Structure 1
């Protein structure tokens, strides 16, 4: 198993343990590396009363990217993430499996890590795009997260 596969497996285990509702929806990390994460959720079992994927499921597949990016980019034995605020804009009907993707650049990772080490916490913004199976953007999001030092 590659290091990347091991990281994805670790993130999926964390989702199951720390956010069981997301795991029940079928939210999974599918790719993660420093500064980059992709999550996915199936259409099946996540519909609403008019045949689209429920808005809360779309929110969740985008929101968990904050934890996935943190796990891929920072020392999880020293830091943990939390979400402070989250905005989502629905752009099109979501009627198939979904994929959410977000990135953080190296300069931002360095800033966050240094500030969290020095002050015990650091806020960061993560913008995500949620697409359907055809690649259509169904939602965009902007989350404000905080990386916190464990024990501070």
Structure 2
């Protein structure tokens, strides 16, 4: 294959991954406004963790190349997303694109400068996938809030 053809093929693949990330981000955006988080996460194929995640010392570093490319596409798209680039959006979109690896969505809380803050990340095969690298500073929530409407 000629060098130019290789660059063109890579550009097409990058565009395809970005288009997928845009589509999933739009679904996530709609879901965040209309559906409970546990139902949204399950519907995306990234179930919300309901038991304490086994925290590991090192973040996940062994993603396959296709998965790394999808995480990069997610970060690239959400960096320009008009509704914000939150950790929850990152985790939901990346999780949907990586669902073949069976990720779970972990939400945690921490007290930072006197305020309670939340953070979201993915857990894949017992390892943490957190592009922000902040998961170790948060206590994982073990029981999701239940909708009290009956």
Asked if these proteins are the same fold (TM beyond 0.5), I'd say no
Which structure shows the bigger proportion of residues in helix conformation?
Answer: 2
Q: Which one has the largest radius of gyration? A: 2
Which structure shows the bigger proportion of residues in strand conformation?
Answer: 1
Q: Which has the higher contact order (CA 8 A, sep 6+)?
A: 2
